[in-house]
Structure 1
Amino acid sequence: MKNIAFLLLLITIPLKAQKTYTGRVLSAKDSTAIQGVSIYFDGTSLGTISNAKGYFKIKNTASNISPLIFRSIGYTTQTVPNISVFEDENFPIVFLQESIDELETVILETDPWTRAHKLRVFRSEFLGKTKAAGKCKILNEDDIRLKYSPSKHTLIAYADKPVIIENKHLGYIIEYELMDFTVKYSGGSSGLRLVDYTFFEGSSFFKELKTKPKKRFIKNREDAFTGSLLQFMRALSKKELEAHHFRIFYDKFEVQPYKYFDIQPDADFTKVTMLADKISILHNNQQSSIIYKSPFYIDQFGNFTPTRAFSIGGFMGQSRIARLLPLNYGL
């Protein structure tokens, strides 16, 4: 079975009082204010920009493990995992370094694949193969660099600028900072190349495609959320798997929902340790699987960390970017 892991770079929860995070963005070179810096919680639609003096203010309602991302043209994108520092009313300073063009990694072998072929593979593995993927378009494909290594049977992709995706199925514009993208192939008995696994991760920011979402966007979002990894994580952390119609199987037999999960709630996060190497999930006749590697933490968004704590296969793994929702969806 093809195993897929990705950052959801791979989201009902009671709302808490809003927290306000403030700060200031300056240039590391000369300490001048940087205006127009995009500042957002990774994987959400919660964002703002810095003003003419570099100051910013952003609000959030949920306790989360999503870092704050600082991105501006001409500067290296900065990720700040410890967002609590911005609860200080003294406006903590974030210094951005000017970006330096880096030389591409030299691969000392001939790449036999054409760019057109590599792009077709990238679109398929990044956006997915679902009906929703047909309604998605990458607006800046020229910014994506692709290399195939025949000796390693691996396709890699990287980009210096965010990959911009127009999703006319869910009604979003997604700005995706691609940190890692790898497709690993293995040879089948017929000699054909088969995808062994796909892994990609990055940070993402969602914007509405229309000022007011169309009814079909709202319906499609509800459909994308139902049975998704995001819904599963929220339900798992609250022990509401049955209420949301998730059934758990081990070794082909249905088991009690939490038999193979050790769930330890905390004030803001939930620690999950799996007690089996692999379990299967069934939701409305859609089957998925989780291959466990290490304990992970879930926040109130349904976001989890670390991103490589497990691999996802089946329906959840095949959804990809085309069915990806912001982590704050429905909150």
Structure 2
Amino acid sequence: MFKILQFFISLILLYSPIILSSQNNSTQEIDIKGRIIEADTKESIPFAHIFFEGTLNGTTSDINGYFVLKLTDVSNKPLIVSSVGYKTKTLTNYSSNSEITISLEKNIYMLADIEILADNLPTKRKLRMFKAYFLGTSNNAAETEIMNPEVLNFFYDKSTNTLNASATEPIMINNSALGYRIIYYLENFKASEDNVEYTGNYYFEELPVDNADKREKNLIRRFQTYKGSRLHLIRSIWNNSLKQDGFTLFYTNYKKIKLNEVITDLPTGEKIICLSPGAIIYYGDMNQSTTYFGDMNQSTTYYGDARPSEKSYLMQQEDCTKIDKDGYYDPKTVKWSGQMSEKRVADLLPYEYLPYKK
């Protein structure tokens, strides 16, 4: 176990973002400046998206491929660079003290591959299925809309009852319940009744609101969505506040987890948690029902109170997972099931989110 931790820590130190320590100094603003070019021709790529994963911090390159992105307190997340027709690039090793050049490789689609993906299921039905799997079925999802469904391509495999999807452009998602727009670059999507798998990169923008009442409703819905979420859990683990926040964690053999036995502090200011093979997570009052069917529209029903217990499972895909104070973790190192896995794109919150206080 000690050798595994040593190896993991060495990787963290090697690939952690190189950002000036003064970025957290509120009196001095620091930017990342650079240019996006094509790998083969070295020509500029205009209107590429550059953003920190899962945050409100993103921008686009200008007509000549240049961009400026401000560093914030959550800028220790992976830096994502995406553009239509190119392979997405993830940067974890970059500097803010010099202009950087980022080259993207073309994403070549073979026509023969596309022609194979044909089925007899109506497109409208496949779109409804995609929304249910991708956005979810929560009350938030009911108020969330995909603004450009024409960029989506579907193939339904009748032999396995599996829906496959891809997108030719970033999916623009307006979540009126939470007051966010999500720009989502979909990489892979495959879903059936028994299993839903999708990967991609995304960032947020605040949706404009025209009155104070609407903003107040957004803030309350964000708070309700946050309570018991994956974001809430990771922050609770970081702060060692599971009990205060309503979480109880067990190993898969139902032995209670003690965080001081599974958490290691890193020299980078981050932490790693080693729960292999996984954990059982309860949120709320364990003496009540294990499923919560509350109405999210009842904004004060569980405002700060324990609610009936929700049960989820966390299975580590690697020995350890890096986490940070904002609730970030590498999604490729963890697989969720149970209540938390039912929370999909319509229930996402940016890493800048802070709990609502009325």
Same fold (TM over 0.5): yes
Aligned to 1:25: 36
Looking at secondary structure, tell me which structure has more strand per residue. Answer: 1
Within 5 A, what are the aligned runs for 1:100-249?
A: 100-103=108-111, 105=113, 111-184=119-192, 195-210=193-208, 214-249=215-250
| C-alpha displacement of 1:33 | 4.1
SS in 2 for 1:105: helix
TM-score, L = length of structure 1: 0.79
* Farther-moved stretch of structure 1 (48-57 vs 114-123): 48-57
Aligned to 1:271: 272
| C-alpha displacement of 1:202 | 0.5
Do 2:270 and 2:322's aligned partners in 1 also have CA atoms closer than 8 Å? yes
Q: C-alpha distance in 2, partners of 1:104/1:257?
A: 54
Q: Which amino acid aligns with 1:95?
A: S
CA deviations 1:223-258 (Å, max 9, x no partner) are 111111011112212322223221224569572553
Please, which runs of 5 or more residues in structure 1 have no aligned partner? 1-14, 185-194
1:45 counterpart = 2:56: yes
Please, which runs of 5 or more residues in structure 2 have no aligned partner? 1-22, 285-306
102 and 275 in structure 1: CA distance in 2 versus 1, 3 angstrom threshold: closer
Aligned to 1:86: 95
Aligned to 1:60: 71
Within 5 A, what are the aligned runs for 1:286-305?
A: 286-294=310-318, 295-305=320-330
Aligned to 2:335: 311
Q: Which amino acid aligns with 2:189?
A: F
Aligned to 1:76: 86
Q: Which amino acid aligns with 1:215?
A: E
Task: Name the count of aligned residue pairs.
Answer: 302
CA deviations 1:133-182 (Å, max 9, x no partner) are 11011112121111122333422111111111111101111111111111
| C-alpha displacement of 1:309 | 2.4
Q: C-alpha distance in 2, partners of 1:282/1:104?
A: 48
288 and 64 in structure 1: CA distance in 2 versus 1, 3 angstrom threshold: farther
| C-alpha displacement of 1:207 | 1.1
CA RMSD across the alignment: 3.0
Looking at secondary structure, tell me which structure has more helix per residue. Answer: 2
Do 1:28 and 1:96's aligned partners in 2 also have CA atoms closer than 8 Å? yes
| C-alpha displacement of 1:304 | 1.1
Which of structures 1 and 2 has the larger relative contact order (alpha carbons within 8 angstroms, sep 6+)?
Answer: 1
TM-score, L = length of structure 2: 0.74
Q: C-alpha distance in 1, partners of 2:195/2:272?
A: 26
User: Equivalent pairs: percent with the same residue?
Assistant: 26
SS in 1 for 2:191: strand
| C-alpha displacement of 1:300 | 3.3
Q: C-alpha distance in 2, partners of 1:319/1:68?
A: 24
Q: Which amino acid aligns with 1:88?
A: N
SS in 2 for 1:148: strand
CA deviations 1:271-319 (Å, max 9, x no partner) are 11105544232233222222333221113332212x2323212221111
Do 1:39 and 1:47's aligned partners in 2 also have CA atoms closer than 8 Å? yes
